Structure 1
Amino acid sequence: MSEVEALHEEIAKLRDQLAERDARLVELAASEARLKVALLEIEQIKMQLAVLRRQRYGQSSERLDGEIVQLELRLEDLEETVGEQIAASPRAREAKDHERKPTGRKPLPPHLPREVVVHEPEIICQCGGCDPARLTKIGETTTEVLEKIPARLKVIRHVRPKYACRRCEAVFQAPAPDLPIEKGRPGPGLLAHIAVSKYCDGLPLYRQAGILAREGIDISRAVLAEWVGQVAWWLVPLAKRIGEYVMAQSVIWTDDTPIRTLAPGKGKTNLSRFWCYAVDPRPYAGSGHPAVLYRYSADRKGERPQTHLEGFRGYLHADAFSGYEALYRPHGRNAPPVQHVACVAHARRKFFEVFDATQSVIAEEALRRIQDLYAVEDDIRGQPAAHRRTERQARAKPLLGAFHSWAIAQRRRLSSKAPLAKAFQYALNRWDALTRYIEDGRLSIDNNLSERLLR
């Protein structure tokens, strides 16, 4: 081959390489564009989720729950797509790094066990005569990687040797081990895993049966359901003890939420309720432990919380549900056994809805005044009850007095049918209960504790 032909061949190869490079650049640019679109959609979905979660406990909560689930699934798909593109493209990684807000990476939790893997370098020294034993260690670089050890099933074989005395014919054998299900096969660890997966992780029993089947363990959904029922039986004394502990306290936070339950034989569902009754002394540095009691009812009749709270004496953080009213009534000449502590966050929500819809300056001013009350709470969170009461009397009480006078004046100027007037009236109708939290340092400005426990 002549020199000219060789040059032409080299030029052709270079052109092919340039064309291949240009094609890769086009592909990378398209990937980068898709990544930016996905990142933008992720931010939009996060904003929509934030709005829906704020509205979650209003009307049409079931419809909102469905929208939230769909958005969360879409968000998960998008984030998986972003991960794939980042792994496949250096330029996509650069785009992601450019879009990502600079935040410090949190260290992995210290309570996790550490397994140390040391990667020794290959010793190839420029001097050619280095003895590895004579090298001096001048430092090291450490990288921590979070790893998951897959769950393993195992069979524990309990062997109880039996011994006999030839002289007196006595027989000796250790008693059978105590198991959660008599003569049953599941151990306590497996039962706990099944219950937690079902109730904490939302994993239905038929899916758990499928997971077990992949490991060669054939356990039907019906058997798993029977096991869960027996676990519930074992937990009854614990639930009872928690209930006794909660009802013995003098401050309780309560709320309820609707749930759909199957109606056997009817082919449809009923709207039932879950109630929670919570205590938490941590915000006021109190003694004791936080706890929550959950109760179920087939409806939302007022007799339900009245029955649940029978015998309770103290402060009750609750919403404006009329079913609680009987608890607040005095018994003859005696003071009411239960004092209602209303939720300032609920009152705030009324003003926020008006501001969000109309950008009302008056609603914005109401929100600012309520924000000042929460600023006091931020400063006293975790402080002893006596200190919290002193600070509230000195700082929050004047703010509440000014808010009350201002609210009355604004309400008189508004039509009773105006949404803003209804927001003011909601707060004024419950003013004593809304401001009761400043009387006792153990009380909270809102009922967010119980609402969080029902989410």
Structure 2
Amino acid sequence: MVATAQDAVPDDIGALRAALTAALARAEDEAARAALVEAELAVARAKASDDAALIAHQDLTIRKLQRALHGQSSERSARLHDQMELTFEELESTATEDEIAAEQAAARTTEVAPYVRKRPARQPFPEHLPRERVVEPAPAACHCCGGHRLRKLGEDITETLEVVPRQWKVIQHVREKFTCRDCEAISQAPAPFHATPRGWAGPGLLAMILFEKFGQHQPLNRQAERYAREGVPLSLSTLADQVGAGAAALMPLFKRLEAHVLAASRLHGDDTTVPVLAKGKTDTGRLWTYVRDDRPFGGADPPAAVFYYSRDRRGEHPAAHLAGWS
């Protein structure tokens, strides 16, 4: 006769309870061992991630020092540093994620200490930033004896850096009309000045659009998508129209700067590559830079630089740039 698992189960209630208690104890021991192993693995992973981030940071620092000492200013060196900074950024983020995971795993056991990364001392927040005091409610009674005779001894301040979201608003310029009772003529204040013809964008918004495009290299379609998510739909053609108007408004300043640079008796010129989006690929454009700086030669005129852009590196471009200079 073959014995089954049901035959091995005792009929006595006390024996059943004892077996169940032993089974629960074994399950708790196995869960504790599993939590211990998980915590140890999480701590080891956090240490490895921290070491990788530290190595990447030291390598990046050494490369920057070498570049500063030996003057390696080539485009390839700059791209290599950008790539190293991106790698360090990813490793640093991963190390922080693993540190938090190790803390959470160590909290489920009492035998593994959480791993805490060594971070450099954080610099205090700039003094020019406004401070907003949020005073937490004071205790009404002593936490120890419950007495109500409390006297302020001091205070602890914890500073948190916060940002106020961007706010959009429409400014209404109201020009009241007045009629003359003597001659019936209508008088009205002149229309407000706009930086661009038929301008509907304020100077702050116009400056932001131009800086995002040319200073932060943010395409207009990305800007339009972000503005739409903030509740202000602006079409791509509308933004492009403002960029053209802004460039036309700034052209006199560029001409003055160009005249100042090309009036120098000596110029320093060079070109650098810039990626240009094209249909189905990325082309390589050129940014021509001409610098005027007479300070090393005892000159008193202020230094300045002027930039020109071209889609290729043909010699006709610098020839056109320097046609009026000798």
The two structures share one fold, judged by TM-score above 0.5: yes
Structure 1: runs of 5 or more not aligned: 312-326, 328-455
* 1:287, distance to aligned residue in structure 2 (A): 7.4
Instruction: Check if 1:296 corresponds to 2:309.
Output: yes
Cα separation, partners in 2 of 1:128 and 1:243, compared to 1, 3 Å: same
> Which amino acid in structure 1 is aligned with residue 33 of structure 2?
D
Give, in whole Å, the separation in 1 of the partners of 2:278 and 2:270: 24
Aligned residues: CA RMSD: 4.4
Aligned AA (2:115):
A
Written as runs of structure 1 = structure 2, the 5 A alignment for 1:41-440 is: 41-46=52-57, 47=59, 51=63, 54=67, 57-58=73-74, 61=76, 65=79, 71-90=84-103, 95-98=115-118, 100=119, 103-125=120-142, 126-132=144-150, 135=151, 137-246=152-261, 254-261=269-276, 269=283, 271-277=285-291, 279=293, 291-297=304-310, 298-299=312-313, 301=315, 304=318, 307-308=321-322
From the two aligned structures, give the one with the greater helix fraction: 1
CA contact (8 A) 2:275 2:282 kept: no
Displacement of 1:293 after TM fit?
2.6
8 Å Cα contact 2:271/2:286 also seen in 1: no
How far off is 1:74 after superposition? 4.2
Query: Contact 2:99–2:117 at 8 Å: present in 1 too?
Result: no
- Give SS of 2:46's match: helix
Q: Residues 271 and 289 of structure 2 are in contact (CA less than 8 Å); yes or no, is this contact kept in structure 1? A: yes
Separation (CA, whole Å) in 2 of partners of 1:23 and 1:174: 80
Give 1:277's aligned amino acid.
Answer: V
Letter in 2 for 1:27: E
Q: Which runs of 5+ in 2 are unaligned?
A: 1-12, 108-112
Contact kept, 8 Å, 1:209 with 1:221, in 2: the verdict is: yes
Tell me how far 1:208 sits from its aligned partner.
Answer: 0.8
Secondary structure of the equivalent of 2:283? strand
Identify the range of structure 1 (69-78 vs 301-310) with the bigger mean alpha-carbon deviation. Answer: 301-310
Could you tell me the TM-score, scaled by structure 1's length?
A: 0.53
CA 1:263–1:76 in structure 2 vs 1: closer, same or farther (change >3 Å)?
A: closer
Matched length: 300
Residues 14 and 268 of structure 1: is their aligned pair in 2 closer, same or farther, counting only changes over 3 Å?
Answer: closer
The 1-side partners of 2:320 and 2:184 are apart by: 64
Percent of aligned pairs with the same amino acid: 35
Instruction: Assess, with a 3 A threshold, how the Cα gap between structure 1 residues 274 and 159 changes in structure 2: closer, same or farther.
Output: same
Contact in 1 for aligned 2:289/2:305 (Cα 8 Å): no
SS in 2 for 1:78: helix
2:39 touches 2:102 (CA, 8 Å); kept in 1? yes
Match of 1:22 in 2: 33
Which residue matches 1:33?
A: 44
Quick check: 1:263–1:270 contact (8 Å CA) kept in 2? no
Contact 1:261 1:272 in 2 (8 A): no
- Tell me the distance in 2 between the aligned counterparts of 1:186 and 1:178: 11
Q: Does the residue aligned with 1:39 lie in a helix, a strand or coil?
A: helix
